[in-house]
Copies of this chain bind each other. A is one copy, B any other.
Amino acid sequence: MKGLTFLAAFSDAADVMQKTARPNGLRAIAERANVSVSLVSKVLNRRLGSTRVNAETLSAIHAAAADLGYRKNHAAAALVKGRQNVIGGFIHSVGVEGSGLVEQLVRGMADAASSQGQRLMLRFFSSAEEFLNYVPEISPSLLDGLIVAGIRHPELFGRLREIQASGVQVVTVHEDGNPGWDGAFDNVCIDQRSVCEASTEHLISLGCQRIAHISLIRNRADGYRQALESHGMTFDPSLVFQASSFYAAGGTAAVAHFAAAGVQYDGIVAQSDEQAIGALNALILAGRRVPQDVKVIGVDDSSPARLAIVPLSSVSSRFYEQGVRAVGLLGDNAEGRPKRTLRIEPVVRARQSTVGKAEGGEAAAG
């Protein structure tokens, strides 16, 4: 008996020496609760299936886990499950740096990912090569899903298809009708046509009769025109100024152009906030009153809009929402369902530049 005890003690000691090395971990808590590692795993993951567990054992396990401050080793879990709970966010740095729009998108993705227990891994790129550098990182052992935003390089879509074939679900976030995109991926975007349709309708509803347009993108210009026509107003090409960028210079140039051409107008629908601010500033400096003489509205609801000399009304592109929805599409994993494009409806944020002193609320887009 003594000998046996001795041996037992010895072997116990040996076990302790060999196995209890890992400070916390499933094994440590299993030993402490006097159960098997597998049971602990099942209990802690609530993966009991049909198995029932004795109430005492259950609480013993939980107690041990709490005592030892159990932290799951995610790498090990990911290894055996083949699932990482990580989604990648790869963002093309477009020209709107610093306007806070990308920040909104990132926030949307991060918050949505968090709320469904995923982690967001972020990367920025500004060229095709930079993107290609990251491609080796995109494997199912690292990411379950990938969101690619603002991609500008049609040649990358081929890569994305390979990536998707390798088992990483891909969702794009980019303008509708991007060349090269062929329906192979889920996509989230703002409805470009609705954007300027919404802002134009906003001005119409405020009584504007002659609404000028600072144009760049075709779809948005179409929305402007459609809003006019669906309200019985005639489209007048002389009211459209073709800008060469989304920057403020376009707005300044538009105001100068209209003045030089003697074109009269009581509203301006721009295609970006910067354009609108350029126009707004030019108007103010020329002594025009906003919104009394001219109402101005932009696109994006970026932070400069709020702080313009007359706070600028704007159609929000809802980047936060876009981020959230992109993550949502990743989560929605019905196998073989057709890929879909989710078009976010824009929303008008009315401020002084259209509605005057009373800081307006929001109105859904037409």
A contacts, CB < 8 Å to B: 71-76, 78-79, 84, 86, 89, 93, 97-100, 102-104, 106-107, 110-111, 114, 119-124, 134, 136-137, 139-142, 166, 248, 273-274, 277, 281, 284-285, 302-304, 306-309
Contact = CB atoms under 8 A, between A and B. Distances in A.
A139 B79 contact: no
Contacts of A166: 71
Given A281-B309, A309-B309, A74 B141 contact: yes
Nearest to A73: B141
Nearest to A104: B98
30 contacts: A71-B136, A71-B166, A72-B141, A73-B79, A74-B141, A74-B142, A76-B141, A79-B79, A86-B121, A93-B107, A97-B103, A98-B100, A99-B100, A99-B303, A100-B100, A100-B303, A110-B122, A110-B124, A111-B124, A114-B124, A114-B134, A120-B122, A273-B307, A277-B307, A284-B309, A303-B304, A304-B304, A304-B306, A307-B308, A309-B309
Nearest to A140: B71
A121 B123 contact: no
A74 B139 CA distance: 9
Contacts of A139: 71-74
A128 B342 CA distance: 34
Contacts of A142: 74-75, 119
A18 to B, nearest CB: 18
A263 B304 CA distance: 30
A140 to B, nearest CB: 8
Given A124-B107, A142-B74, A119 B97 contact: no
A303 B98 contact: yes
A296 B73 CA distance: 54
A106 B106 contact: yes
A255 B105 CA distance: 36
Contacts of A93: 107
A111 to B, nearest CB: 6
Contacts of A306: 98, 304
A324 B248 CA distance: 30
Sort A-B residue pairs by CB-CB distance and give the 8 closest, nearest first.
A75-B78, A103-B103, A98-B100, A73-B141, A304-B304, A71-B139, A100-B100, A98-B303
Contacts of A78: 75, 78
A114 B123 contact: yes
A103 to B, nearest CB: 4
Contacts of A72: 139, 141
A93 B307 CA distance: 20
A83 B76 CA distance: 12
A121 B120 contact: yes
Contacts of A114: 123-124, 134
Tell me which of A75, A78, A140, A303 has the highest count of chain B C-beta atoms within 10 A of its own C-beta. Answer: A75
Tell me which of A79, A136, A304 has the highest count of chain B C-beta atoms within 10 A of its own C-beta. Answer: A304
A85 to B, nearest CB: 10
Nearest to A117: B137
Contacts of A285: 309
A195 B120 CA distance: 33
A107 B103 CA distance: 10
B124 A248 contact: no
Contacts of A120: 121-123
Contacts of A103: 97-98, 100, 102-103, 106
